[in-house]
Amino acid sequence: MAEALNLSRADVHGIVSFYHDFRAEPAGRHVVKLCRAEACQSVGGHALAEGLLHRLGLEWGGTTGDGQVTIEPVYCLGLCACAPAALVDGRPLGRLTRERLDAAVNEARNDWAKA
């Protein structure tokens, strides 16, 4: 890519690594972005995120082995009054609990399985 754009590899790497929606590898079929900002953290967002990562066996930015779900951090969705919040396939979800988050992720996975 650097050669095609007549840029250095360092320039391309800097841009790709800076912008969170640029990836070196493809994301899963479903992308779950969990808010990591202070408002969400103050009402249990950290525990919610860590629990989901643990249940899926992932680290931040990881994708499930079946390629269906990628979990990414995002640093404010503007849903502070509805914290903790997430985006599941671009759909905003607020006032999340473990049950609501798991249901949203499972719904996305099941919709794909039916297709």
36 lies in some domain: yes
13 lies in some domain: no
Per-residue pLDDT of the chain (115 residues; tens, 9 = 90+): 899 999 999 998 888 888 877 887 889 999 999 999 999 999 999 999 999 999 999 999 999 999 999 999 999 999 999 999 999 999 999 999 999 999 999 998 887 555 4
6 lies in some domain: no
17 lies in some domain: no
What's the burial of 62, exposed, middle or buried (CB within 10 Å: 0-12/13-18/19+)? middle
49 lies in some domain: yes
| Domains identified in the chain, total number | 1
Domain that holds residue 110: 26-114
15 lies in some domain: no
84 lies in some domain: yes
Instruction: Give pLDDT, residue 114.
Output: 55
19 lies in some domain: no
CATH number, domain at 42? Answer: 3.40.30.10
Residues 31, 73 contacting (CB under 8 angstroms): no
